[in-house]
Amino acid sequence: MKIRLLDIAHARSGDKGDTANVGVIALQPRWYDVLEQFVTRSRVADHFRGMIEGDVERYELPNLNALNFLLHGALDGGGTLSLKTDAQGKVYSTALLRMVIDVPDAEAKRLALPAVR
Amino acid sequence: MKEIVRVAAGQGFWGDDLDAPRRQVEGGQIDYLMLDYLAEVTMSILQKQRERDPSLGYARDFVGAMESILPAVLDREVKVVANAGGVNPRACAEAVRSVGAQRRGSKLRIGVVTGDDLLGRLDDLMAQGHALANMETGEALSSVRDRVLSANAYIGSNPIVEALHGGANVVITGRSTDTALTMAPLRHEFGWGAESWDQLAAGIVAGHIIECGAQCSGGNCLYDWKSIPDLANVGYPLVEARADGTFVVTKHPGTGGRVSVPTVSEQLVYEMGDPHSYITPDVIADFTTIRLAQDGENRVLVSGIKGRPATDKLKVSVAYRAGFKAVGTLVYAWPEALEKAQAADRILRERLDRLGLKFDRVLTEFVGANATHGALAGDRHDAPEVQLRFGVRGSDRAAVERFTREIAPLVLNGPPSVTGFAGGRPKVEEIVAYWPALIDKSVVKPKVEIIS
């Protein structure tokens, strides 16, 4: 079943130099495992291909039902150097929530995940 | 020892709600008000102000804030900790003292923390072998030395604790870490030792949660954002901390916004790097140990936090001149708004080429189509309007200046259905860039003096 992250998670993003971070938090604690399993580092790197210049790192925070992604080279130099509207990476959060993941039907049903409308 | 110590946040950055400090001291009981004024580039702005006038170089908003909260400080013994001192903490203290002097019987005791400013020592430090290499690029500071405007070490809680022990009721620092402003009062009240790693880490986490003001109490919160009540009257956060390192995040009664596990979770992940190692001058906090639980309406209990010894380095924030930039915009309307804006972009690039202008960077965004989400936003070819946003950056001021003259002509000599140029020519801005570096802790010696 196709699941859109926006329907199972919320997020906030910020900056450190030319790196944007996106923290993605499951809307329900039991959905955290879905994030951990399907929102992988390489999946996120593919998602942002063409938008960021560097690597992606992923960290897990099961205590907050959250994943933290570092998107390197995401801010056109970052800070005051950047010419981007989103020079401080404030809305990479919702850009990540556009991602659609494919969860096996049985698991999606068991967890009552909302399907993409 | 107090059982519970309340630290409230009244400012998340220089430019935040001017009335928040007053609302924090009047809206309910608090012991400390912490005010964070310094973002990464603020120090360089303040440095430029001090160059023009040696009595400036601090966050002047703080003086107005002190005026508005003076009765609470003097009569109800609310103490204030602020990094408003910028590059001139002593001048800031003088300005606050003259505000206090207007009130008879004023018992302001102002603790001034200095020693973070490394600008005057930079050449000596570099000569001694401190490369101050850029933490992101590895480049040595010598490559931009002649363009450096300010250099400050991020200092931790020690000097603030010392000032509070010395009886200060207002502590003014320069570039102390944002989190130390919250942690230091807790350390002072609870007597946490310099190696009480878990408690110190808890104080840092408390600081991280409230240092951005209302961003943990309903502001900028995506979770169920439409249901968050009365943001016009949003309550700024406070922590009710205990000696064991647990604390509750809450806000004053009768205020808007919300404090919940989701609002606090969003703030915890804000600007996060490796969550296992949130490095500060005092302690390394492990954000993967944080436990959150709803503890009644608008109350979140935070517990379980673990910390470990700090490193022997301090982070240094260097600001340097890095050329010039300008951004121009025009708005194109339906039909084919995006295609018109794209055509204008091609024309503009061709004209800049023909003029022989060279830039380090040229960036075009189409606001309404791709500016924030890039190609992820999908097809926007039927957008009602699209803003062409065209930016250039380079070391040659004249070239950037010349670029700013090339936007307006497009209104008459470019693609049709164009508007939104009433703001006039783009402004040329000098770029002051941020250079993060590390330095040995042993060479930075914070100083504390108390002025009464």
β-strand pairing of B291-294 with B300-303: antiparallel
Give me the mean pLDDT over the B369-373 stretch: 96
Q: Write the secondary structure of B415-451 as one string of H (helix), E (strand) and C (coil).
A: CCCEECCCCCCCCCEEEEEEEEEEEEHHHCCCEEEEE
State residue B36's pLDDT score.
Answer: 96
State residue B105's pLDDT score.
Answer: 77
Residue B327 parent element (H or E) = strand B313-333
Summarize chain A as % helix, strand, coil (round to 5): 30, 30, 40
Give me the mean pLDDT over the B387-416 stretch: 97
Interface of B with A in 82-101 (CB under 8 A): none
Euclidean distance between CA atoms B35 and B96, whole angstroms: 14
3-state secondary structure of B72: helix
3-state secondary structure of B38: coil
Give me the mean pLDDT over the B7-19 stretch: 95
β-strand pairing of B170-173 with B110-114: parallel
Supply B51's token pair.
Answer: 């160059």
Euclidean distance between CA atoms B172 and B402, whole angstroms: 44
B267 touches A at CB < 8 Å: yes
Given its phi and psi angles, is residue B388 left (phi above 0), alpha (psi -120 to 50 degrees) or beta? beta
Name the residue with higher pLDDT: B424 or B212. B212
A43 touches B at CB < 8 Å: no
State residue A26's pLDDT score.
Answer: 98
β-strand pairing of B32-35 with B79-82: parallel
Whether the ipTM is more than 0.85: the answer is yes
For B297, residues 6+ apart whose C-beta sits below 8 A from its C-beta are none
For the cut 80, the answer to whether the pLDDT of residue A47 exceeds it is yes
Give me the mean pLDDT over the B52-63 stretch: 95
Measured in angstroms, the CA of A75 and the nearest CA of chain B are apart by: 11
B289 touches A at CB < 8 Å: yes
The DSSP code sequence of B176-189 is B-TTHHHHHHHHHH
- Scanning every residue of chain B, which has its alpha carbon at the shortest distance from the alpha carbon of A99? B376
Give me the mean pLDDT over the A83-94 stretch: 97
The DSSP code sequence of B267-286 is HHHTT---TT-EE-SSEEEE
State residue B44's pLDDT score.
Answer: 81
State residue A14's pLDDT score.
Answer: 96
The beta-carbon neighbor of A85 closest among B325, B389, B431 is B389
State residue B66's pLDDT score.
Answer: 96
Are B8 and B237 contacting, i.e. CB atoms less than 8 angstroms apart?
A: yes
B325 touches A at CB < 8 Å: yes
The beta-carbon neighbor of A63 closest among B262, B288, B434 is B288
CA torsion sign for B185, A14, B313, B38 is negative
A86·B327 Cβ contact <8 A: no
Residue A32: its chain B contacts at CB < 8 A?
A: none
Q: What is the pLDDT of residues A70-79, one digit of tens each?
A: 999 999 999 8
Outline where DSSP puts E strands in B25-182: 32-35, 79-82, 110-114, 148-153, 170-173
For the cut 80, the answer to whether the pLDDT of residue B124 exceeds it is yes
A17·B434 Cβ contact <8 A: yes
Euclidean distance between CA atoms B83 and B46, whole angstroms: 13
Give me the mean pLDDT over the B325-339 stretch: 97
Percent of chain B past pLDDT 70, that is, above it, reads 100
Residue B201 parent element (H or E) = helix B197-210
Nearest to B319 by CA among B133, B42, B121, B15: B42
For the cut 90, the answer to whether the pLDDT of residue B160 exceeds it is yes
Q: Where are the domains of chain B?
A: 5-116+154-311, 318-435
Minimum mean pLDDT among A26-40, B102-116, B312-326: which range? B102-116
Measured in angstroms, the CA of B105 and the nearest CA of chain A are apart by: 45
B292 touches A at CB < 8 Å: yes
For the cut 90, the answer to whether the pLDDT of residue B37 exceeds it is yes
Are B317 and B207 contacting, i.e. CB atoms less than 8 angstroms apart?
A: no
Euclidean distance between CA atoms B186 and B191, whole angstroms: 8
A61·B287 Cβ contact <8 A: yes
Q: What is the pLDDT of residues B270-306, one digit of tens each?
A: 999 999 999 999 999 999 999 999 999 999 999 999 9
For the cut 80, the answer to whether the pLDDT of residue B41 exceeds it is no
B272 touches A at CB < 8 Å: yes
pLDDT, chain B, mean = 96
pLDDT band at B424 (very low <50, low <70, confident <90, very high): confident
In angstroms, the Cα distances linking A36 to A44, A63, A67, B277 are 12, 12, 7, 20
For the cut 90, the answer to whether the pLDDT of residue B43 exceeds it is no
Torsion angle defined by CA atoms of residues B83, B89, B91 and B96, in that order, rounded to the nearest 10 degrees? 40
State residue A3's pLDDT score.
Answer: 98
Residue A27: its chain B contacts at CB < 8 A?
A: 223
Q: What is the pLDDT of residues B162-204, one digit of tens each?
A: 999 999 999 999 999 999 999 999 999 999 999 999 999 999 9
Q: Please, what is the end-to-end C-alpha distance for chain B in angstroms?
A: 25
Supply B447's token pair.
Answer: 């100083």
Q: How many beta carbons lie within 10 A of that of residue B368, not counting itself?
A: 20
For the cut 90, the answer to whether the pLDDT of residue B8 exceeds it is yes
Euclidean distance between CA atoms A65 and B133, whole angstroms: 36
B318-435 topology per CATH? Alpha-Beta Plaits (3.30.70)
A81·B372 Cβ contact <8 A: no
Euclidean distance between CA atoms B378 and B372, whole angstroms: 12
State the residue for tokens 């982070």: B315
3-state secondary structure of B395: coil
The half-sphere exposure of A110 on its side-chain side, counting CA atoms within 13 A, is 9
Minimum mean pLDDT among B33-42, B77-86, B352-361, B437-446: which range? B33-42
Instruction: Return the amino acid letter for B77.
Output: E
Interface of B with A in 197-256 (CB under 8 A): 220, 222-223
B380 touches A at CB < 8 Å: no
The beta-carbon neighbor of A25 closest among B40, B266, B367 is B266
